[in-house]
Amino acid sequence: MRVEGLSKTFRHARRRSGSRRDVHAVRDVSLAVEQAECLGIAGESGSGKSTLARMLVGLEPPSAGSIWVKGERLPERPKSSDRRLHARRIQMVFQDPYSSLDPRQSVGRVLDEVQRVHFDRDRPSRAARSAKLLDAVGLNAEYASAVPRSLSGGQRQRLAIARVLAAEPSVIVLDEAVSALDVSIQAQILNLLSDLRTEFSLTYIFISHDLAVIRQVSDRVMVLYRGRLMEQAGAEEIFDSPHHPYSQLLLDSAPRARMSLQQRPERGFLADDGCLFRGRCIHAYARCQTEPPLLPVSPSAQARCWLAEEDPVTGQPKEKP
């Protein structure tokens, strides 16, 4: 999957004063994911993660940019046939499995419906495929007649994953897919996703605010702040030695044993020009009034920060804060 320059702006109605405040949820994001790779997308609430996910699966039209899956571009004004093809290629597992399932449909009907929409199969073939999917996600065949309200949270999420697999997609987007589950159930679902990825050579885009989960499942990580890509690198590199001050702030804020809790200073101003993070950055200096591009900081990492430009001799920034 490849995404180029994806942006989303929500336009609000004009105020009485005549002005209009637009919300830039996603700002010029580009990414690429190879087959069987897991790309993690991290960021705090409001960073644009879910809006990006909804655009990737076609639930939200982008304001700008393009989406490519298997070398084919999703049309700007997709027809019904285009949307159906895109839905086959990329599927989504939502945060709340119960609200994403029809409470009146049994487990068997949920899986059967997906196959009827996307494939030309007779009923026995669909039933056999449904049985295999239930087995793959760790649900017995006896659950085929159950309805979502009779399932536990972990079982509902397993059903949601089975429903996604029923479409046989190339890419699966998981938007906070384990955040609503108990910690023990989270571990089961994460292990299940790992096993399914190996068995079916699946490609994941895993979106979460939980950095521990992101680190466990991802090969590469992208960090978003106010819709802008701030840093991207291999998972181990970004967690062991983050290059952007915002990435470091996220890691420092993650709860951990014996962490000292103290009142944080008020949030700084939110800049709409220059570096978007400069109002909260302790390293901000004059040059930050101009927004930096993504700068290479290692052979496999980039960061949107002027501090990444270092003198090759001294190792210090070219301009001192």
Q: What is the pLDDT of residues 262-300, one digit of tens each?
A: 655 556 667 788 999 998 898 888 889 999 999 999 898
Residue 180 banded pLDDT, cuts 50, 70, 90: confident
Q: What is the pLDDT of residue 312?
A: 41
**CA separation for the pair 111, 320 (Å, rounded):** 59
Give the pLDDT confidence of 157-167 residue by residue, as tens digits: 999 999 999 99
Give the pLDDT confidence of 67-84 residue by residue, as tens digits: 999 888 888 888 888 888
**CA separation for the pair 198, 113 (Å, rounded):** 26
Residue 147: what residue type? V
Give the pLDDT confidence of 294-321 residue by residue, as tens digits: 999 989 899 999 988 754 444 465 554 4
Give the pLDDT confidence of 205-251 residue by residue, as tens digits: 999 988 889 999 999 999 999 999 999 999 999 999 999 999 999 99
Q: What is the pLDDT of residue 255?
A: 67
Higher pLDDT, 180 or 144: 144
**CA separation for the pair 117, 88 (Å, rounded):** 10
pTM: 0.88
**166 touches 195 (CB < 8 A):** no
Count CA atoms closer than 13 A to 54's CA, side-chain side. 14
Residue 100 banded pLDDT, cuts 50, 70, 90: confident
Q: What is the SS3 string spanning the chain?
A: CEEEEEEEEEECCCCCCCCCCEEEEEEEEEEECCCCCEEEEECCCCCCHHHHHHHHCCCCCCCEEEEEECCEECCCCCCHHHHHHHHHHEEEECCCCCCCCCCCCCHHHHHHHHHHHHCCCCHHHHHHHHHHHHHHCCCCHHHHHCCHHHCCHHHHHHHHHHHHHHCCCCEEEEECCCCCCCHHHHHHHHHHHHHHHHHHCCEEEEEECCHHHHHHHCCEEEEEECCEEEEEEEHHHHHHCCCCHHHHHHHHHCCCCCCCCCCCCCCCCCCCCCCCCCCCCCCCCHHHHCCCCCEEEECCEEECCHHHCECCCCCCECCCC
Give the pLDDT confidence of 113-161 residue by residue, as tens digits: 999 999 999 999 999 999 999 999 999 888 999 999 999 989 999 999 9
Residue listed under structure tokens 């196959």:
115
**CA separation for the pair 290, 152 (Å, rounded):** 51
**CA separation for the pair 292, 302 (Å, rounded):** 11
Residue listed under structure tokens 């079916």:
200
Paired tokens of 180: 């609503």
Minimal CA–CA distance to 206: which of 51, 40, 90?
40
Give the pLDDT confidence of 4-59 residue by residue, as tens digits: 999 999 987 666 666 667 889 999 999 999 999 999 999 998 899 999 999 999 99
Minimal CA–CA distance to 284: which of 250, 256, 319, 239?
319
Q: What is the pLDDT of residue 140?
A: 87
